[in-house]
Amino acid sequence: MSFITLDTKAYRYNLSCIAAKAGGYDKLICVFKDNAYGHGANLLAPITRACGVNFVAVKNESEAYQLEEHFDNILILSHRPTGEENPKFIYALNEPSTLTQFKKNTRIHLKIDTNMHRNGVNLENLEKLLKELGCLNLEGAFTHFMAADELDASYFAQKRNFQKAKETIRNATRKTLLFHSFNSSALFRGQMPQDELCRVGLVQFGYGDGSLKKVLKLYAQKLSSRELKKGQGIGYGGTYVADRSLKVATYDLGYADGLFRYNGKGQLKLANGKELLGKMSMDSFSCEDSGEEICVFNDANLWAEFFHTINYEILVKLHPSIKRILI
Ligand SMILES: *Cc1c(COP(=O)(O)O)cnc(C)c1O
């Protein structure tokens, strides 16, 4: 059976680097959405908590329920109000007009649209919204950068806008609130404001900065092997034709497991340098026989480059049913 290993030492090391940059573990909101970027939220959560992080962000309520035993503070990023919000969770208020649809006393972090134009209240409508919050329990406010990986003019403009929003909110409320704007790339490129938390996703797993260590390795196991004679093809359409006699093996991982489908064209290499041979099947691929198990990748960047996408997408697609093992 194919499997994923999660290197707990590497994960703890990454968290320590991140905490050092952010000013402590209590400054971190670890983003655990989509099964912790495909890694395995349930397995990593106890480690994250033991390191001293007590705040995570997830996509929806079902992800929040999976993690509720581990963390006191769980921010749900993509929620549509139902009137049945759980008093334990914190909900992002993404759409000002839905304010009245939340249950009374719901814990809220206000999303501020500082120029990404994806979600949240803009600066012009902020003061008015703050007056209308009524019986919602405002605990914080946050924004998201559209180009923190480039630190271009838009990043500095958004920073200024968020600073203005913080002042407006502080003037309007007497409570001490939590503010956060930095994500992974902002933390490793910019200077984090002292009065903020930061939301870190990808860097936890060793991507985005050369100083960090990759946490995930993906393995497949051998189903069968055979001798391919010169001139024989392999897989659907026989797109790969052997130019010499070759011992090939079929391994138990395919596009149904969340891999991008290799169509037999171009050189897609496994971690040991061997190439995939022929088109990938739904549940398997073939390559030169490399023993009982093979590491498919330990660096999602190689697959991301090949498929012209970003490492996030390669990782997050890894099917939750692949067995995860902590090492
Ligand atoms: C996914 C997400 C993050 C984390 O982004 P990274 O680039 O992985 O650090 C932070 N904030 C919000 C709102 C997100 O949706």
DSSP string, 148-186: TTTT-HHHHHHHHHHHHHHHHHHHH--S--EEEEE-HHH
Look at residue 274 in the predicted model and tell me its pLDDT. Answer: 97
Q: What is d(CA 278, CA 229) in angstroms, rounded to the nearest whole number?
A: 15
**Is the pLDDT assigned to residue 38 strictly greater than 80?**
yes
Q: What is d(CA 25, CA 51) in angstroms, rounded to the nearest whole number?
A: 7
pLDDT confidence tier of residue 139, bands split at 50, 70 and 90: very high
Look at residue 58 in the predicted model and tell me its pLDDT. Answer: 98
Look at residue 112 in the predicted model and tell me its pLDDT. Answer: 95
Q: How far is CA 226 from CA 112, 209, 285, 287, 304, in A?
A: 59, 42, 14, 11, 30
Pocket of ligand 1 (CB under 6 A): 31, 33, 77, 144, 183-185, 199-202
User: Average of pLDDT values for 186-200?
Assistant: 93
* Each residue's pLDDT tens digit, 59-82: 999 999 999 999 999 999 999 999
Look at residue 135 in the predicted model and tell me its pLDDT. Answer: 84
Q: How many angstroms from the chain centroid is the CA of residue 263? A: 26
Using CA atoms of 11, 318, 223, 235 in order, give the dihedral in degrees to the nearest 10.
Answer: -140
Q: What is d(CA 156, CA 141) in angstroms, rounded to the nearest whole number?
A: 18
Q: What is d(CA 74, CA 66) in angstroms, rounded to the nearest whole number?
A: 11
Q: What is d(CA 169, CA 167) in angstroms, rounded to the nearest whole number?
A: 5
Q: Ligand 1 centroid vs 29 CA: distance in angstroms?
A: 10
**Is the pLDDT assigned to residue 174 strictly greater than 90?**
no
Active site residue 33: yes
Look at residue 123 in the predicted model and tell me its pLDDT. Answer: 87
Measured from the Cα of 142, ligand 1's closest atom is 13
User: Average of pLDDT values for 34-47?
Assistant: 98
Paired tokens of 42: 């349930």
Paired tokens of 34: 């989509």
* Each residue's pLDDT tens digit, 5-36: 999 999 999 999 999 999 999 999 999 999 99
Ligand 1 pocket mutation, candidates 118, 199, 215, 310, criterion most atoms within 8 A of CB: 199
- Give me the percent of the chain exceeding a pLDDT of 70: 100
